[in-house]
Amino acid sequence: MKTAMLSFLNETGAQESKRKLVDLGFEIITSEAVSSNIPIDLMYIELCPLQKIIPLQKIIASCGDKKTSLELLDITGLIVLMSGAKNRSIVVCDPNDLESVLDWLKMGQPKKEEVLDYLAAKTLATIAEHMLNTAEFLGDTKNISGYIENQLVFPEIE
């Protein structure tokens, strides 16, 4: 059986996505299963875009200091996604790609290598952006991450 690990920031639509994956033959597993060496075929992890929601200086002000603020940055999700991309799992970190991936799975995964390349590239670009935002946060600099513009487009699969 194929396995999928899902982590949603917003539960709106989560149940529907889970149902679609189960209908496609996936078993939904918990994040605890990652540590038990179960191969994961599909990973969907929505990363918290704190830096886009709340300016980092406000995060520091509300937490009291940088050390406490760093606890809010999602490191585990980044590591899991990076591992999935490296191992050629189906990795999805952009909510806008989830329906396209579900459609692609229903179609039998045409152009599989091209789609996996796209998903891995997008995941790694997203991780890089998060890491640059963290560097910006720690270094009190501005616009380090401004030059990363994700221009990747989901491949045509029909």
Tell me: the pLDDT tens digits for 40-89? 999 999 876 655 545 656 656 666 666 666 666 667 888 889 999 999 99
User: Quick one: fold of 2-147?
Assistant: Rossmann fold (3.40.50)
Total-model pTM: 0.76
pLDDT of residue 14: 87
Tell me: the pLDDT tens digits for 125-152? 988 888 777 766 666 555 554 444 445 5
> Where are the domains positioned within the chain?
2-147
Share of the chain above pLDDT 90, in %: 39
Task: Say which residue, 106 or 34, is predicted with more confidence.
Answer: 106
DSSP letter string over the chain? -EEEEEE-SS-TTHHHHHHHHHHTTEEEE-GGGGGGT---SEEEE----HHHHS-HHHHHHHHSSHHHHHTTS--HHHHHHHHHHHTT-EEE--HHHHHHHHHHHHTT-TTHHHHHHHHHHHHHHHHHHHHHHHHHHHHT-SSSGGG------PPP--
